[in-house]
Structure 1
Amino acid sequence: MKVAYVIEISAVIIIIFLLIIFVPKNKIREASVILMFKQLITWILGLAVVQLNWLEYPDRVFFSDATQTSFSFEYICYPALCVFFILYYPKQYGWVGQFVYYFVYCSAITILEVLIEHYTTAIKYNEEWHWYSTWLSLFVTFYISRKFYLWFFKEKEKGDSYG
């Protein structure tokens, strides 16, 4: 079995387990909305970057004949990470703390993706895509998702500079 397959299957199992453990029962509704909104964004963007040949997913476990993007990462892992990002968002901190939160989240995910890209065949960056493309796309999609969450649940937060 290829390393890429093991990573993909493990990531899906771990992320589902983490969702079950760390999403409080009283936040399941919010988590569902966050997950589906982020899925909408990442699925569209994931398909676009693959069609533009900026990224490739040479080895995929799920739906490899149906799409050229990674169902596991674009539709399960990244959206689930966004759930944690928003549910545990540090709204009590000022704009500096909130920016650091964005920075740490985006950087950690980007580092993992770069390692996967470098050491496996699960993802391949082409000439137009770089680590900072991943980082920036994560930052923007997390920001948009957070703004949607605040709008959807009609939350107004005092001093919430970074959404």
Structure 2
Amino acid sequence: MTYLNEVIWITGCFLISAYLLLFLPMHRYREAWVVFLFNQTLTWGIGVVIFSAGRISSPVRPFPNATNQYVLDGYLFYPALSVLSYFLGERCRSRMEVHLLTLSTAALITAWDYTETRFTRLKEYKGGITSLYVFLIAAAALYLTRWFALRFFQDLHKENSRRED
């Protein structure tokens, strides 16, 4: 299939956009942007280090003259999944459910990344980078994003819980 790269990306972008529109409360867009931008910053920083070290290459990328990185995952897809994970985590009743949700989201990111490296030319790993590393980095980024957003909006969450009481 010659258009597999485009099909995977169009499908992924459509699905993630639909999920964000369905699950994201409209009155909490600012909170969603903070989560999105913080995760984007983390994935960009990690990506710069990994790409600069030559561990990952991107033969096919949307902006070849601008950067050597494959920017669409770290700038759109992974941060959007972190927003979904953050807001779905609020529906969890226990810490165990939050951990399971975070690890499931990291597994979804890993599966997406594996699909891109295995079936397309969007990314190629070199020097021992495996899916385990992708999973660990994704889980750490999701946990850090959740921690940052909860600290950043701590007063807002306290005020909302007082209103509910």
Structure 1 length-normalised TM: 0.85
The yes-or-no answer on 1:125 pairing with 2:125 is yes
- Given that 1:56 and 1:125 are in contact with CA atoms closer than 8 Å, whether structure 2 keeps it comes out as yes
C-alpha separation between the residues in 1 aligned to 2:91 and 2:108? 20
C-alpha separation between the residues in 2 aligned to 1:101 and 1:55? 27
The yes-or-no answer on 1:109 pairing with 2:109 is yes
Amino acid at match of 1:20: L
For residues 18-51 of structure 1, what are the alpha-carbon distances to aligned partners after superposition, in whole Å with 9 as ceiling and x for unaligned? 3233311012111111111111111111111111
Which residue number corresponds to residue 161 of structure 2? none
Percent of paired sites with the same residue: 25
Q: CA deviation at 1:92?
A: 4.1
C-alpha separation between the residues in 1 aligned to 2:91 and 2:26? 20
The yes-or-no answer on 1:86 pairing with 2:86 is yes
Larger C-alpha radius of gyration, 1 or 2?
2
Q: CA deviation at 1:152?
A: 0.4
Which residue number corresponds to residue 162 of structure 2? none
C-alpha separation between the residues in 1 aligned to 2:44 and 2:34? 15
- Which consecutive segments of 4 or more residues in structure 1 shift more than 6 A? none
Which residue number corresponds to residue 3 of structure 1? 4
Q: Which has the larger share of helix?
A: 2
For residues 61-102 of structure 1, what are the alpha-carbon distances to aligned partners after superposition, in whole Å with 9 as ceiling and x for unaligned? 2x2211111221111111111000101105643333222212
Q: CA deviation at 1:103?
A: 1.9
Structure 1: gaps (5+ residues): 157-163
Aligned alpha-carbon RMSD (Å):
1.9
For residues 105-143 of structure 1, what are the alpha-carbon distances to aligned partners after superposition, in whole Å with 9 as ceiling and x for unaligned? 111221121122111111111123110110000110001
Kindly report which structure 2 residues correspond to 1:12-51, keeping only aligned pairs within 5 A, or say none.
Answer: 12-51=13-52
The yes-or-no answer on 1:68 pairing with 2:68 is yes
